[in-house]
Amino acid sequence: MAMDHAAAEGDHLAAERAAARFDVEAMKVAWAGSRHAVDVADRMARLVASDPVFRKDNRTMLSRKDLFKDTLRKAAHAWKRIVELRLTEEEASLLRQYVDQPGYVDLHWGMFVPAIKGQGTEEQQKKWLPLAYKFQIIGCYAQTELGHGSNVQGLETTATFDPKTDGFVIHSPTLTSSKWWPGGLGKASTHAVVYARLITEGKDYGIHGFIVQLRSLEDHSPLPGVTLGDIGGKFGSGAYNSMDNGVLRFDHVRIPRDQMLMRLSQVTREGKYVNSDVPKQLLYGTMVYVRQSIVADASKALSRAVCIAVRYSAIRKQFGSQDGGPETQVLNYRTQQSRLFPLLASAYAFRFVGDWLNWLYTDVTQKLEAKDYSTLQEAHACTAGLKAVTTSATADAIEECRKLCGGHGYLNSSGLPELFAVYVPACTYEGDNVVLLLQVARILMKTVSQLTSGKQPVGTMAYMGKVQHLMQSKCAVKTGTHSVHLYLFQAS
Amino acid sequence: MAMDHAAAEGDHLAAERAAARFDVEAMKVAWAGSRHAVDVADRMARLVASDPVFRKDNRTMLSRKDLFKDTLRKAAHAWKRIVELRLTEEEASLLRQYVDQPGYVDLHWGMFVPAIKGQGTEEQQKKWLPLAYKFQIIGCYAQTELGHGSNVQGLETTATFDPKTDGFVIHSPTLTSSKWWPGGLGKASTHAVVYARLITEGKDYGIHGFIVQLRSLEDHSPLPGVTLGDIGGKFGSGAYNSMDNGVLRFDHVRIPRDQMLMRLSQVTREGKYVNSDVPKQLLYGTMVYVRQSIVADASKALSRAVCIAVRYSAIRKQFGSQDGGPETQVLNYRTQQSRLFPLLASAYAFRFVGDWLNWLYTDVTQKLEAKDYSTLQEAHACTAGLKAVTTSATADAIEECRKLCGGHGYLNSSGLPELFAVYVPACTYEGDNVVLLLQVARILMKTVSQLTSGKQPVGTMAYMGKVQHLMQSKCAVKTGTHSVHLYLFQAS
């Protein structure tokens, strides 16, 4: 680390920056993906930073109620700016990202709209999406129940078809069947995609999605038979306390039949359950999409934490002074470097593996549309495994960055406590990491067990097909190259 | 784990408890240390639980200001009850422990009073301790500065002797010399023990402690030359936000000469610096005491987290149902057990190693009083190392327990987010864990390098003296006993 004239004068970051031995502008472009991406990101970041409505400095100091109001205000203002400035979808998404405050809008755009797009018929999409696009309705995604998270097939909420009224009766039969956690449910949403056991002609057809109105479009009060509320405070001072995660119970709430999401299967006027010809595997495509975006987000969260810790380590000095001279920058201690630099490297690694997963998603989607399911399992294993590995590593790394800032990392003003508290649920949502790793292990074991049957593993698992060869290989390598390293990984 | 009749009816904890294969009452006594300790703890816990002033249910929902007021109210009420009920010191300490809300009182009793006891002359103790005991003054411990934490010798605040006025001038010469972090400083304290560089006759004698009045005893306003404030929000919703960690700057504040803590060294009327005949090693005794109490506290924090996670794991069911039957308690999954049970075991291990450290403290104190310093370094290494190991393990374990409760662990109502946020600074305060482990490593390396000089290592390092023998030993053991395991640890 540089210890030159500028550093001696106290302007440590300038000295460190001047000592960079790579092209910073080129790295910016590599990180963002293109010069265009750098420019758009800069523009949107400035737009948010210069707008007093989007201020963040008081976020950890507001009461829960004021924090929630602040979220409503920011969401409405963001929407206003997006419309006024005619922002593209890319720009709007970046703007929301820089506002950086969890809120009901995330679920409306990130879960409610995609659920209708992915699982609704064209007719249903035509009816509901324009309402959602114009915010005439606000939607959330009501899947998890008090007693059922990872085991989606164990959900207890029922949707029983009633041929007399040509509709479904949505009901919460037990305490554990209460919907629990959906963001946007507690205060904001007027509608939800509710996941429930479809029962028709006395038979249970398992979990299906239904569009259910929860609150009046007149006065926002809960509709008859609907009980809902906010589930209370969460980790951190601000963090997800800006989100109205909610609880929801149904007492025999009736909805018309056409509010079942019917792209993959239907219930007829007579109550017959019918599968459509749309392959169910398409649903996996959505899961792959969501998880690859979580991997991409890991690098964003990690890079912010590492940035704070690296800058702090350059400024902070401790010990090592001789004869009353300046102390040593903590960045120059090996104990600091050995903890910090691998995290810095991980931020870059996660950034580029996120790109690769995005390519994998595009690839698997194209194959699915051509009814080629050959790479689906491998893509599922890659996204599940990388989701688990990157989110766990990132959560731990943010906490490590916090500790690397010593006592100062414990103050909210360092930004790190909130970064941790707002990030760490990523280890649990969209597939608990331990459950996901077990799924990956199962797929790996299954692939190994099928080797003798002549079934050739694909993609990242293709090397297993060479197991005989690899196990007999001996290493005569004297200098390391990329391909040698890869070969050694495969063989080990 | 038990899956019997009671479990089928939903009363899982009763079934689990009935299945215990050890004597629970005997374990309670072993944990507390004695039957007497169990009874006192039960009595104090009930006293706190039954008193509405000590309520905890709204702690994470109060604004920072209301939370601080709540802390003042609880501290005053605790004091009133301690006096009314004529509680013993043991009882009073337990009562404060069960109130379980960080506050200025912790520093008054835990740092200010002990500093005067340990570093003040008998005369100084006679003057200041009665004022502190009756809360006529409130004290804090102002050591850490904005720019100086681990490197205490680098503190910049100066205390310059002025023979004209027979007093010291306390001054903050730089921004980085601002006192930063002291608990109780931001709002509550009237006095502080301030650590500053003693300068007399133009010479810098290094860091010494001084009793400095900060605020008026009439209207609590800062005295002339004293600038102070609260350093802002910290990790968590409640946690240490109940504490008024503060910032403090001095602009040439004068104090009388007799407010230097003079047990170990004095400045005479003429400005001469004189060491007393009290050995400086006594100060290490205090450090050993504080760190052994941190190890004891680790088991308390960890046992609370493990208790919540074990109970949750017994109640929570997920997957594993057959034909619509009840799902499996997550406590029965090996993936849950392999993460949870080592933490449960650690809670017990830390409890008992805490007892041993307490014995070590008593032993080293007795030796110090007899001017025997032979075991001081080893005792320092044990407490520094165990402080680092147990606090890091406990902080990580609380977070792991939180994750073991799935999504529910993210809600404040689980108790775990706050338990983590309030515990984790233990990794940083009273010696940053990384710095402490480096100190242990240095002592170990030094001990090894001295082996050839014939200097025999003592206590837990005694086995190093047998290094020649151990390295030539071969293991012929067939069954493991305690002494065999110990021998193997020594040899490995």
**SS3 string of B69-95?**
HHHHHHHHHHHHHHHHCCCCHHHHHHH
Summarize the confidence of residues A106-112 as an average pLDDT.
94
Q: How far is B335 from chain A (nearest CA, A)?
A: 8
Summarize the confidence of residues B174-191 as an average pLDDT.
97
Cβ contact B413–A150 (<8 Å) = no
**Contact residues, chain B, for A429 at CB < 8 Å:** 407
- Taking 90 as the threshold, does the pLDDT of residue A204 lie above it? yes
Exposed e or buried b per residue across A430-465, where buried means at least 16 C-beta atoms within 10 angstroms of its C-beta: bbbbbbbbeebeebeeebeeeeeeeeebebebebbb
Chain A, chain B: beta-carbon pairs less than 8 Å apart? 122
B194 neighbors B216 (Cβ within 8 angstroms): no
Cβ contact A233–B236 (<8 Å) = no
Tens digit of each residue's pLDDT (9 = 90 or more) over A63-107: 899 999 999 999 999 999 999 999 999 999 999 999 999 999 999
Nearest chain A alpha carbon to B423 = A410
- Taking 90 as the threshold, does the pLDDT of residue B468 lie above it? no
Q: Of A124-128, A287-291, A309-313, which gets the smallest average pLDDT? A: A287-291
- Taking 70 as the threshold, does the pLDDT of residue A492 lie above it? no
Diameter over CA atoms, chain B: 92
Which one is predicted more confidently, A456 or A357? Answer: A357
At residue B7, the pLDDT reads 44
- Taking 50 as the threshold, does the pLDDT of residue B2 lie above it? no
- Taking 90 as the threshold, does the pLDDT of residue B213 lie above it? yes
A292 neighbors A281 (Cβ within 8 angstroms): no
Amino acid at B422: V
- Options 3.40.1260.10, 3.30.750.210, 3.40.50.300, 1.20.140.10; CATH for A281-452 is 1.20.140.10
Q: Categorize the per-residue pLDDT at A1 as very low, low, confident or very high, splitting at 50, 70 and 90.
A: very low
Nearest to B411 among A232, A317, A318 (CB): A232
Interface test with A, best of B403, B416, B422, B436 (most A CBs within 10 A): B403
Would you kindly state where each structural domain of chain A is located, as residue ranges?
24-101, 137-275, 281-452
Cβ contact B318–A151 (<8 Å) = yes
**Contact residues, chain B, for A434 at CB < 8 Å:** 335, 339
Pair of tokens at residue B397: 């374990």
Range from A371-385, B330-344, B357-371 that averages highest in pLDDT: B330-344
Q: Categorize the per-residue pLDDT at B475 as very low, low, confident or very high, splitting at 50, 70 and 90.
A: low
Q: Categorize the per-residue pLDDT at B492 as very low, low, confident or very high, splitting at 50, 70 and 90.
A: low
In chain A, the percentage of residues whose pLDDT exceeds 90 is 79
Nearest chain A alpha carbon to B154 = A319
In chain A, the percentage of residues whose pLDDT exceeds 70 is 96
Name the nearest CA neighbour of B120 among B111, B128, B110: B128
Nearest to B63 among A63, A231, A434 (CB): A63
A24-101 topology per CATH? Butyryl-Coa Dehydrogenase, subunit A; domain 1 (1.10.540)
**Contact residues, chain B, for A421 at CB < 8 Å:** 235-236, 417
Cβ contact A233–B147 (<8 Å) = no
Q: Of B27-36, B56-65, B317-326, B422-431, which gets the smallest average pLDDT? A: B317-326
Cβ contact B428–A319 (<8 Å) = no
Can you tell me the distance from the alpha carbon of A329 to that of A230, in angstroms, rounded to the nearest whole number?
A: 47
Cβ contact B234–A411 (<8 Å) = yes
Q: Categorize the per-residue pLDDT at B323 as very low, low, confident or very high, splitting at 50, 70 and 90.
A: low
At residue A288, the pLDDT reads 84
**Contact residues, chain B, for A412 at CB < 8 Å:** 232-235
Summarize the confidence of residues A14-37 as an average pLDDT.
94
B300 neighbors B308 (Cβ within 8 angstroms): no
**What is the C-alpha R_g of chain A?**
26
Nearest to B60 among A61, A233, A316 (CB): A233
At residue A10, the pLDDT reads 57
The whole-chain average pLDDT of chain B stands at 92
Alpha carbons within 13 A on the beta-carbon side of A287: 18
**Contact residues, chain B, for A319 at CB < 8 Å:** 150-151, 154
A222-to-A156, A185, A189, A256 alpha-carbon distances in Å: 22, 11, 10, 18
In chain B, the percentage of residues whose pLDDT exceeds 90 is 79
Cβ contact B151–A318 (<8 Å) = yes
At residue A475, the pLDDT reads 67
A137-275 topology per CATH? Butyryl-CoA Dehydrogenase, subunit A; domain 2 (2.40.110)
**Contact residues, chain A, for B424 at CB < 8 Å:** 410
Q: Categorize the per-residue pLDDT at A4 as very low, low, confident or very high, splitting at 50, 70 and 90.
A: very low
At residue B6, the pLDDT reads 44
Active-site residues of B, by number, are 430
Q: Of B182-191, B237-246, B360-369, which gets the smallest average pLDDT? A: B360-369
The whole-chain average pLDDT of chain A stands at 92
Nearest to B428 among A61, A399, A403 (CB): A403
**Contact residues, chain A, for B145 at CB < 8 Å:** none
Q: How far is A407 from chain B (nearest CA, A)?
A: 6
Nearest chain A alpha carbon to B403 = A428
Can you tell me the distance from the alpha carbon of A90 to that of A106, in angstroms, rounded to the nearest whole number?
A: 15
Q: Categorize the per-residue pLDDT at B1 as very low, low, confident or very high, splitting at 50, 70 and 90.
A: very low
Cβ contact B235–A149 (<8 Å) = no
Cβ contact A61–B64 (<8 Å) = yes
In chain B, the percentage of residues whose pLDDT exceeds 70 is 95
B282-471 topology per CATH? Butyryl-CoA Dehydrogenase, subunit A; domain 3 (1.20.140)
At residue B349, the pLDDT reads 96
Active-site residues of A, by number, are 430
**Contact residues, chain A, for B317 at CB < 8 Å:** 147
Nearest to A234 among B406, B412, B429 (CB): B412
Can you tell me the distance from the alpha carbon of B484 to that of B464, in angstroms, rounded to the nearest whole number?
A: 17
Tens digit of each residue's pLDDT (9 = 90 or more) over B385-429: 999 999 999 999 999 999 999 999 999 999 999 999 999 999 999
Can you tell me the distance from the alpha carbon of A105 to that of A110, in angstroms, rounded to the nearest whole number?
A: 8
Q: Categorize the per-residue pLDDT at A323 as very low, low, confident or very high, splitting at 50, 70 and 90.
A: low
Summarize the confidence of residues B251-279 as an average pLDDT.
96
Summarize the confidence of residues B164-174 as an average pLDDT.
98
Cβ contact A412–B181 (<8 Å) = no
At residue B282, the pLDDT reads 78
- Taking 80 as the threshold, does the pLDDT of residue B57 lie above it? yes
Q: How far is B98 from chain A (nearest CA, A)?
A: 22
Nearest to A234 among B241, B339, B410 (CB): B410
Can you tell me the distance from the alpha carbon of A151 to that of B406, in angstroms, rounded to the nearest whole number?
A: 12
**Is residue A105 classed exposed, middle or buried when 0-12, 13-18 and 19+ CB atoms within 10 A define those classes?**
buried
Can you tell me the distance from the alpha carbon of A124 to that of A147, in angstroms, rounded to the nearest whole number?
A: 31
Q: How far is B413 from chain A (nearest CA, A)?
A: 7
Range from A45-54, A472-481, B483-492 that averages highest in pLDDT: A45-54
- Taking 50 as the threshold, does the pLDDT of residue B305 lie above it? yes
Nearest to B412 among A233, A318, A399 (CB): A233
Q: Categorize the per-residue pLDDT at B4 as very low, low, confident or very high, splitting at 50, 70 and 90.
A: very low
Strand runs (DSSP E) across A120-268, as ranges?
Answer: 139-142, 158-162, 167-171, 179-180, 191-200, 203-213, 226-230, 246-250, 253-256, 265-267
Can you tell me the distance from the alpha carbon of A125 to that of A131, in angstroms, rounded to the nearest whole number?
A: 10
